[in-house]
Structure 1
Amino acid sequence: MIRAAIPLLPDGDEAREWAERELADPVYDAAQPTPLDRAARAIAEFIGDLLSPRGDIEWSPVLAVAAVLLVAGLLVTAFLIWGRPRLAHRTESSALLFGEAESRSAAQLRAAAEESARSGDWDGAIVARFRALARSLEERGILEAPPGTTAQGLAARAGRPFPDRAHELQAAARSFDDVRYLRRRGTAEVYSAVVAVDEAIARSVPAHAPEVVPA
Protein backbone atom coordinates (compact mmCIF):
# COMPACT_ATOMS: atom_id res chain seq x y z
CA MET A 1 0.00 0.00 0.00
CA ILE A 2 2.82 2.43 0.82
CA ARG A 3 4.65 1.76 -2.43
CA ALA A 4 1.44 2.35 -4.40
CA ALA A 5 0.97 5.74 -2.77
CA ILE A 6 4.51 7.02 -3.33
CA PRO A 7 4.08 7.87 -7.06
CA LEU A 8 1.27 10.26 -6.07
CA LEU A 9 3.71 12.38 -4.06
CA PRO A 10 5.36 15.33 -5.84
CA ASP A 11 8.97 15.26 -6.88
CA GLY A 12 11.25 18.13 -5.89
CA ASP A 13 10.38 20.41 -8.80
CA GLU A 14 6.64 19.80 -8.46
CA ALA A 15 6.62 20.41 -4.71
CA ARG A 16 8.57 23.64 -5.13
CA GLU A 17 6.24 24.76 -7.91
CA TRP A 18 3.15 24.03 -5.78
CA ALA A 19 4.51 25.94 -2.83
CA GLU A 20 5.65 28.91 -4.90
CA ARG A 21 2.36 29.03 -6.85
CA GLU A 22 0.31 29.02 -3.64
CA LEU A 23 2.43 31.62 -1.89
CA ALA A 24 2.66 33.81 -5.02
CA ASP A 25 -1.14 34.15 -5.17
CA PRO A 26 -1.96 37.83 -5.99
CA VAL A 27 -4.11 38.02 -2.87
CA TYR A 28 -0.92 38.37 -0.83
CA ASP A 29 0.35 41.30 -2.92
CA ALA A 30 -2.91 43.19 -3.48
CA ALA A 31 -2.14 46.02 -1.06
CA GLN A 32 0.65 47.31 1.12
CA PRO A 33 2.21 44.30 2.86
CA THR A 34 0.61 43.21 6.10
CA PRO A 35 2.41 40.95 8.61
CA LEU A 36 0.71 38.00 6.91
CA ASP A 37 1.94 39.18 3.51
CA ARG A 38 5.52 39.39 4.80
CA ALA A 39 5.21 35.99 6.47
CA ALA A 40 3.98 34.44 3.21
CA ARG A 41 6.93 35.86 1.30
CA ALA A 42 9.37 34.62 3.93
CA ILE A 43 7.81 31.15 3.76
CA ALA A 44 8.06 31.17 -0.03
CA GLU A 45 11.76 32.01 0.15
CA PHE A 46 12.32 29.36 2.82
CA ILE A 47 10.58 26.67 0.78
CA GLY A 48 12.50 27.72 -2.32
CA ASP A 49 15.78 27.24 -0.43
CA LEU A 50 14.57 23.99 1.11
CA LEU A 51 13.61 22.47 -2.22
CA SER A 52 16.64 23.63 -4.17
CA PRO A 53 18.78 20.70 -5.23
CA ARG A 54 21.91 20.37 -3.11
CA GLY A 55 24.72 18.15 -4.39
CA ASP A 56 23.71 14.55 -4.86
CA ILE A 57 20.81 14.67 -2.37
CA GLU A 58 17.66 13.33 -4.00
CA TRP A 59 14.16 14.50 -3.14
CA SER A 60 12.48 12.22 -0.61
CA PRO A 61 8.70 11.67 -0.76
CA VAL A 62 8.65 11.89 3.03
CA LEU A 63 10.44 15.24 2.89
CA ALA A 64 7.96 16.45 0.27
CA VAL A 65 5.04 15.70 2.56
CA ALA A 66 6.83 17.25 5.53
CA ALA A 67 7.53 20.43 3.57
CA VAL A 68 3.90 20.76 2.45
CA LEU A 69 2.68 20.21 6.01
CA LEU A 70 5.19 22.76 7.27
CA VAL A 71 3.95 25.37 4.82
CA ALA A 72 0.33 24.68 5.74
CA GLY A 73 1.09 24.94 9.44
CA LEU A 74 2.98 28.21 9.05
CA LEU A 75 0.22 29.76 6.95
CA VAL A 76 -2.47 28.71 9.44
CA THR A 77 -0.42 30.15 12.29
CA ALA A 78 0.09 33.43 10.44
CA PHE A 79 -3.64 33.57 9.62
CA LEU A 80 -4.59 33.09 13.26
CA ILE A 81 -2.17 35.79 14.42
CA TRP A 82 -2.64 38.47 11.77
CA GLY A 83 -5.88 37.59 9.98
CA ARG A 84 -6.49 37.00 6.30
CA PRO A 85 -4.64 38.98 3.60
CA ARG A 86 -6.34 42.03 2.23
CA LEU A 87 -8.43 41.30 -0.83
CA ALA A 88 -7.38 42.45 -4.26
CA HIS A 89 -10.45 44.67 -4.71
CA ARG A 90 -10.00 46.42 -1.36
CA THR A 91 -8.17 49.30 -3.07
CA GLU A 92 -11.11 49.94 -5.39
CA SER A 93 -13.74 49.67 -2.65
CA SER A 94 -11.81 51.99 -0.33
CA ALA A 95 -11.87 54.77 -2.95
CA LEU A 96 -15.67 54.99 -2.87
CA LEU A 97 -18.14 54.67 -0.03
CA PHE A 98 -21.88 54.96 -0.65
CA GLY A 99 -21.29 56.53 -4.03
CA GLU A 100 -18.80 59.18 -2.97
CA ALA A 101 -15.02 59.41 -2.86
CA GLU A 102 -13.85 58.45 0.63
CA SER A 103 -10.32 57.37 1.51
CA ARG A 104 -10.35 58.11 5.26
CA SER A 105 -9.94 55.34 7.80
CA ALA A 106 -12.60 54.45 10.35
CA ALA A 107 -10.64 56.30 13.04
CA GLN A 108 -10.42 59.42 10.88
CA LEU A 109 -14.13 59.28 10.09
CA ARG A 110 -15.01 58.92 13.76
CA ALA A 111 -12.83 61.92 14.58
CA ALA A 112 -14.56 63.92 11.85
CA ALA A 113 -17.95 62.90 13.23
CA GLU A 114 -16.97 64.04 16.73
CA GLU A 115 -15.76 67.35 15.37
CA SER A 116 -19.06 67.89 13.55
CA ALA A 117 -20.99 66.94 16.68
CA ARG A 118 -19.05 69.46 18.78
CA SER A 119 -19.99 72.20 16.33
CA GLY A 120 -23.66 71.16 16.32
CA ASP A 121 -23.59 69.82 12.76
CA TRP A 122 -25.63 66.73 13.51
CA ASP A 123 -26.24 65.92 9.84
CA GLY A 124 -22.51 65.79 9.12
CA ALA A 125 -21.85 63.90 12.33
CA ILE A 126 -24.41 61.19 11.52
CA VAL A 127 -23.15 60.76 7.96
CA ALA A 128 -19.49 60.55 9.03
CA ARG A 129 -20.21 58.13 11.88
CA PHE A 130 -22.16 55.71 9.70
CA ARG A 131 -19.39 55.86 7.12
CA ALA A 132 -16.97 55.06 9.95
CA LEU A 133 -19.05 52.01 10.85
CA ALA A 134 -18.90 50.79 7.24
CA ARG A 135 -15.19 51.45 6.90
CA SER A 136 -14.51 49.65 10.20
CA LEU A 137 -16.26 46.53 8.88
CA GLU A 138 -14.01 46.69 5.82
CA GLU A 139 -10.85 47.18 7.85
CA ARG A 140 -11.70 44.22 10.07
CA GLY A 141 -12.24 42.03 7.01
CA ILE A 142 -15.84 41.27 8.01
CA LEU A 143 -17.45 42.52 4.82
CA GLU A 144 -16.77 44.92 1.99
CA ALA A 145 -18.60 47.92 0.59
CA PRO A 146 -17.76 47.95 -3.13
CA PRO A 147 -19.05 50.69 -5.47
CA GLY A 148 -22.84 50.57 -5.62
CA THR A 149 -23.33 49.50 -2.01
CA THR A 150 -26.13 51.41 -0.27
CA ALA A 151 -26.45 52.12 3.43
CA GLN A 152 -29.47 49.83 3.68
CA GLY A 153 -27.69 47.10 1.74
CA LEU A 154 -24.65 47.28 3.97
CA ALA A 155 -26.79 47.20 7.10
CA ALA A 156 -28.63 44.10 5.84
CA ARG A 157 -25.37 42.29 5.14
CA ALA A 158 -23.81 43.39 8.43
CA GLY A 159 -26.85 41.99 10.23
CA ARG A 160 -25.79 38.45 9.26
CA PRO A 161 -22.51 38.39 11.20
CA PHE A 162 -24.09 40.55 13.94
CA PRO A 163 -27.69 39.28 14.23
CA ASP A 164 -28.16 40.81 17.69
CA ARG A 165 -27.53 44.25 16.17
CA ALA A 166 -29.52 43.83 12.96
CA HIS A 167 -32.35 46.20 13.94
CA GLU A 168 -29.93 48.83 15.22
CA LEU A 169 -27.91 48.61 12.01
CA GLN A 170 -31.04 49.13 9.92
CA ALA A 171 -32.07 52.09 12.07
CA ALA A 172 -28.61 53.64 11.67
CA ALA A 173 -28.80 53.16 7.91
CA ARG A 174 -32.21 54.86 7.81
CA SER A 175 -30.78 57.76 9.80
CA PHE A 176 -27.94 58.06 7.29
CA ASP A 177 -30.40 58.08 4.37
CA ASP A 178 -32.68 60.56 6.14
CA VAL A 179 -30.05 63.23 6.62
CA ARG A 180 -28.03 62.49 3.48
CA TYR A 181 -30.74 62.11 0.88
CA LEU A 182 -34.11 63.10 2.36
CA ARG A 183 -32.78 66.33 3.90
CA ARG A 184 -34.26 65.57 7.29
CA ARG A 185 -32.53 67.32 10.14
CA GLY A 186 -30.30 65.23 12.32
CA THR A 187 -30.39 65.47 16.10
CA ALA A 188 -28.08 64.71 19.00
CA GLU A 189 -30.28 61.73 19.91
CA VAL A 190 -30.03 60.23 16.42
CA TYR A 191 -26.28 60.75 16.38
CA SER A 192 -25.95 59.07 19.78
CA ALA A 193 -27.85 56.05 18.46
CA VAL A 194 -25.49 55.72 15.48
CA VAL A 195 -22.48 56.06 17.79
CA ALA A 196 -23.90 53.37 20.06
CA VAL A 197 -24.30 50.80 17.29
CA ASP A 198 -20.88 51.62 15.84
CA GLU A 199 -19.25 51.10 19.24
CA ALA A 200 -21.24 47.92 19.87
CA ILE A 201 -20.20 46.43 16.53
CA ALA A 202 -16.58 47.41 17.17
CA ARG A 203 -16.63 45.45 20.44
CA SER A 204 -18.43 42.41 19.01
CA VAL A 205 -17.11 39.27 17.39
CA PRO A 206 -18.92 38.26 14.18
CA ALA A 207 -21.17 35.23 14.43
CA HIS A 208 -19.63 33.58 11.37
CA ALA A 209 -16.60 33.78 9.12
CA PRO A 210 -15.95 37.05 7.23
CA GLU A 211 -17.38 37.43 3.74
CA VAL A 212 -14.82 36.84 1.02
CA VAL A 213 -16.96 38.05 -1.86
CA PRO A 214 -19.56 40.81 -1.36
CA ALA A 215 -23.16 39.56 -1.54
Structure 2
Amino acid sequence: MNPQLYDREGARRLLEDELADSSYQRQFTGPLREAIDAFLDWMAERAFSIGGVDVPFGPLLVLGAVIVTVIIIIVVVRPRLQRGSTAQEAVQIDPQVTAAAFRAHAQECARSGDFNTAAQEAFRAVVRAAEERGVVRQQQGRTATEIAESLSSSYPPFSTTLQRAADLFNRSLYGSVSLAKADLEFIADLDMQLQREPAQHGGSIDGPHLAVPR
Protein backbone atom coordinates (compact mmCIF):
# COMPACT_ATOMS: atom_id res chain seq x y z
CA MET A 1 0.00 0.00 0.00
CA ASN A 2 1.43 3.29 -1.02
CA PRO A 3 1.54 5.90 1.71
CA GLN A 4 -0.79 8.79 1.17
CA LEU A 5 1.04 12.07 0.58
CA TYR A 6 -0.15 15.44 1.81
CA ASP A 7 0.88 18.89 0.87
CA ARG A 8 1.74 21.45 3.58
CA GLU A 9 -1.80 22.77 3.92
CA GLY A 10 -3.29 19.32 4.07
CA ALA A 11 -0.81 18.23 6.73
CA ARG A 12 -1.66 21.29 8.85
CA ARG A 13 -5.40 20.56 8.68
CA LEU A 14 -4.76 16.93 9.57
CA LEU A 15 -2.74 17.95 12.63
CA GLU A 16 -5.40 20.43 13.75
CA ASP A 17 -8.09 17.79 13.44
CA GLU A 18 -6.02 15.37 15.48
CA LEU A 19 -5.33 17.86 18.30
CA ALA A 20 -9.00 18.79 18.42
CA ASP A 21 -9.72 15.31 19.72
CA SER A 22 -11.20 15.36 23.27
CA SER A 23 -8.47 13.05 24.60
CA TYR A 24 -5.98 15.87 24.11
CA GLN A 25 -8.16 18.72 25.24
CA ARG A 26 -9.07 17.09 28.56
CA GLN A 27 -5.49 17.45 29.76
CA PHE A 28 -5.37 21.18 29.18
CA THR A 29 -8.76 22.41 30.31
CA GLY A 30 -10.58 22.75 33.59
CA PRO A 31 -11.40 25.36 36.24
CA LEU A 32 -7.93 25.24 37.80
CA ARG A 33 -6.14 25.78 34.48
CA GLU A 34 -8.54 28.57 33.58
CA ALA A 35 -7.98 30.29 36.94
CA ILE A 36 -4.19 30.07 36.55
CA ASP A 37 -4.35 31.45 33.02
CA ALA A 38 -6.63 34.27 34.14
CA PHE A 39 -4.27 35.23 37.00
CA LEU A 40 -1.20 35.18 34.76
CA ASP A 41 -2.98 37.28 32.16
CA TRP A 42 -4.07 39.75 34.86
CA MET A 43 -0.51 40.18 36.10
CA ALA A 44 0.84 40.53 32.58
CA GLU A 45 -1.63 43.27 31.77
CA ARG A 46 -0.83 45.27 34.91
CA ALA A 47 1.91 47.83 34.43
CA PHE A 48 2.72 51.38 35.37
CA SER A 49 4.84 53.97 33.69
CA ILE A 50 8.09 55.41 35.06
CA GLY A 51 9.63 58.10 32.87
CA GLY A 52 7.69 56.86 29.87
CA VAL A 53 8.78 53.26 30.39
CA ASP A 54 6.14 50.63 31.13
CA VAL A 55 7.14 48.51 34.12
CA PRO A 56 5.36 45.13 34.46
CA PHE A 57 3.31 44.94 37.63
CA GLY A 58 3.44 41.16 38.02
CA PRO A 59 7.17 40.80 38.91
CA LEU A 60 6.89 43.70 41.35
CA LEU A 61 3.95 42.00 43.01
CA VAL A 62 6.00 38.84 43.49
CA LEU A 63 8.94 40.87 44.83
CA GLY A 64 6.64 42.65 47.26
CA ALA A 65 5.31 39.33 48.52
CA VAL A 66 8.87 38.10 49.13
CA ILE A 67 9.76 41.27 51.05
CA VAL A 68 6.63 40.97 53.22
CA THR A 69 7.47 37.33 53.96
CA VAL A 70 11.00 38.24 55.04
CA ILE A 71 9.69 41.00 57.30
CA ILE A 72 7.21 38.61 58.94
CA ILE A 73 10.02 36.10 59.58
CA ILE A 74 12.23 38.78 61.17
CA VAL A 75 9.52 40.45 63.25
CA VAL A 76 7.34 37.50 64.27
CA VAL A 77 9.01 34.13 63.74
CA ARG A 78 12.56 34.91 64.84
CA PRO A 79 11.64 36.33 68.29
CA ARG A 80 9.47 33.28 68.96
CA LEU A 81 12.33 30.96 68.06
CA GLN A 82 14.63 32.92 70.35
CA ARG A 83 12.11 32.72 73.19
CA GLY A 84 11.95 28.97 72.61
CA SER A 85 15.70 28.59 72.95
CA THR A 86 17.59 27.87 76.15
CA ALA A 87 17.85 31.49 77.26
CA GLN A 88 18.60 31.36 80.97
CA GLU A 89 16.88 33.21 83.75
CA ALA A 90 17.88 33.67 87.37
CA VAL A 91 17.49 30.55 89.51
CA GLN A 92 14.64 31.03 91.96
CA ILE A 93 15.78 29.92 95.43
CA ASP A 94 13.46 30.62 98.35
CA PRO A 95 15.65 32.10 101.09
CA GLN A 96 13.39 30.53 103.74
CA VAL A 97 13.95 26.96 102.52
CA THR A 98 16.88 24.97 103.89
CA ALA A 99 19.15 22.67 101.92
CA ALA A 100 17.65 19.70 103.75
CA ALA A 101 14.17 20.76 102.68
CA PHE A 102 15.28 21.06 99.06
CA ARG A 103 16.80 17.56 99.24
CA ALA A 104 13.60 16.14 100.72
CA HIS A 105 11.49 17.74 98.02
CA ALA A 106 13.83 16.41 95.35
CA GLN A 107 13.39 12.87 96.64
CA GLU A 108 9.63 13.33 96.84
CA CYS A 109 9.54 14.41 93.19
CA ALA A 110 11.76 11.49 92.22
CA ARG A 111 9.39 9.03 93.85
CA SER A 112 6.56 10.42 91.73
CA GLY A 113 8.70 10.10 88.58
CA ASP A 114 9.24 13.84 88.06
CA PHE A 115 13.02 13.78 87.66
CA ASN A 116 13.12 17.21 86.03
CA THR A 117 11.78 18.97 89.13
CA ALA A 118 13.79 16.62 91.32
CA ALA A 119 17.03 17.65 89.57
CA GLN A 120 16.14 21.32 89.89
CA GLU A 121 15.49 20.97 93.62
CA ALA A 122 18.70 18.98 94.06
CA PHE A 123 20.65 21.77 92.36
CA ARG A 124 19.02 24.32 94.65
CA ALA A 125 20.10 22.14 97.58
CA VAL A 126 23.72 22.32 96.38
CA VAL A 127 23.55 26.11 96.29
CA ARG A 128 21.74 26.52 99.61
CA ALA A 129 24.13 24.11 101.35
CA ALA A 130 27.10 26.21 100.21
CA GLU A 131 25.34 29.30 101.56
CA GLU A 132 24.63 27.58 104.90
CA ARG A 133 28.28 26.57 105.24
CA GLY A 134 29.27 30.19 104.71
CA VAL A 135 31.20 29.37 101.56
CA VAL A 136 29.18 31.85 99.50
CA ARG A 137 26.67 34.58 100.05
CA GLN A 138 23.10 34.13 98.83
CA GLN A 139 23.08 33.56 95.08
CA GLN A 140 19.89 35.44 94.27
CA GLY A 141 19.58 36.88 90.77
CA ARG A 142 22.10 34.54 89.13
CA THR A 143 21.62 31.92 86.44
CA ALA A 144 22.56 28.31 87.03
CA THR A 145 25.64 28.74 84.86
CA GLU A 146 26.74 31.80 86.81
CA ILE A 147 26.19 30.00 90.10
CA ALA A 148 28.29 27.06 88.90
CA GLU A 149 31.09 29.45 87.93
CA SER A 150 30.87 31.10 91.33
CA LEU A 151 31.00 27.82 93.24
CA SER A 152 33.93 26.70 91.09
CA SER A 153 35.98 29.52 92.62
CA SER A 154 35.63 27.83 96.00
CA TYR A 155 35.72 24.26 94.68
CA PRO A 156 38.15 24.26 91.70
CA PRO A 157 38.40 20.43 91.48
CA PHE A 158 34.63 20.30 90.91
CA SER A 159 34.47 22.95 88.21
CA THR A 160 33.51 20.54 85.42
CA THR A 161 31.06 18.69 87.63
CA LEU A 162 29.38 21.91 88.73
CA GLN A 163 29.02 23.04 85.12
CA ARG A 164 27.40 19.74 84.22
CA ALA A 165 24.98 20.08 87.13
CA ALA A 166 24.07 23.57 85.91
CA ASP A 167 23.60 22.20 82.40
CA LEU A 168 21.21 19.54 83.71
CA PHE A 169 19.26 22.24 85.55
CA ASN A 170 19.02 24.33 82.36
CA ARG A 171 18.06 21.39 80.18
CA SER A 172 15.32 20.31 82.57
CA LEU A 173 13.87 23.80 82.86
CA TYR A 174 14.45 25.36 79.43
CA GLY A 175 15.35 22.55 77.08
CA SER A 176 12.08 20.60 77.02
CA VAL A 177 13.90 17.34 77.77
CA SER A 178 13.14 14.61 80.27
CA LEU A 179 15.89 13.84 82.74
CA ALA A 180 16.42 10.41 84.24
CA LYS A 181 17.12 9.02 87.68
CA ALA A 182 20.84 8.97 86.89
CA ASP A 183 20.79 12.74 86.35
CA LEU A 184 19.27 13.32 89.78
CA GLU A 185 21.79 10.95 91.37
CA PHE A 186 24.62 12.86 89.69
CA ILE A 187 23.57 16.16 91.31
CA ALA A 188 22.81 14.51 94.66
CA ASP A 189 26.25 12.88 94.66
CA LEU A 190 27.83 16.25 93.90
CA ASP A 191 25.94 17.70 96.85
CA MET A 192 27.42 15.08 99.21
CA GLN A 193 30.95 15.50 97.85
CA LEU A 194 30.88 19.27 98.33
CA GLN A 195 29.75 18.80 101.93
CA ARG A 196 32.90 16.77 102.60
CA GLU A 197 35.24 18.97 100.55
CA PRO A 198 36.89 21.94 102.28
CA ALA A 199 36.29 25.17 100.38
CA GLN A 200 39.21 27.12 99.01
CA HIS A 201 39.03 30.79 99.86
CA GLY A 202 41.87 32.02 97.69
CA GLY A 203 39.31 33.75 95.46
CA SER A 204 35.84 35.13 95.98
CA ILE A 205 32.76 34.32 93.96
CA ASP A 206 31.44 37.80 94.56
CA GLY A 207 34.49 39.58 93.26
CA PRO A 208 38.24 39.66 93.88
CA HIS A 209 39.57 40.46 97.31
CA LEU A 210 41.80 43.52 97.60
CA ALA A 211 45.23 42.79 98.91
CA VAL A 212 45.80 44.86 102.03
CA PRO A 213 49.47 45.42 102.91
CA ARG A 214 50.48 44.58 106.45
TM-score (norm 1): 0.51
For the Cα contact (< 8 Å) 1:142–1:210, is it kept in 2?
Answer: no
Q: Which amino acid aligns with 1:168?
A: T
Q: Considering only aligned residues, what root-mean-square deviation do their CA atoms show, in Å?
A: 1.9
Count residues in correspondence: 118
Question: Which protein has the larger Cα radius of gyration, Structure 1 or Structure 2?
Answer: 2
Change (3 A) 1:173 1:120: same
Identify the match of residue 107 of structure 1 among 90, 97, 100.
Answer: 100
Counterpart mapping for 1:193-204 below 5 A: 193-204=186-197
Q: Is 1:140 aligned with 2:133? A: yes
For the Cα contact (< 8 Å) 2:153–2:203, is it kept in 1?
Answer: no
Q: Is 1:153 aligned with 2:111? A: no
Gap runs ≥5 in structure 1: 1-96
Counterpart mapping for 1:30-41 below 5 A: none
Counterpart mapping for 1:48-87 below 5 A: none
Q: Which amino acid aligns with 2:159?
A: A
Q: Which amino acid aligns with 2:123?
A: F
The separation in 2 between residues aligned to 1:154 and 1:146, in whole angstroms, is: 7
SS across alignment from 1:152:
helix
Moved over 4 A (4+): none
Deviation track 1:96-123 (CA, whole Å, cap 9, x = no partner) reads x714645210000001111111111101
Q: Which amino acid aligns with 1:191?
A: L
Gap runs ≥5 in structure 2: 1-89, 208-214
Identify the match of residue 214 of structure 1 among 203, 206, 212.
Answer: 206
The separation in 2 between residues aligned to 1:146 and 1:177, in whole angstroms, is: 16
For the Cα contact (< 8 Å) 2:93–2:124, is it kept in 1?
Answer: no
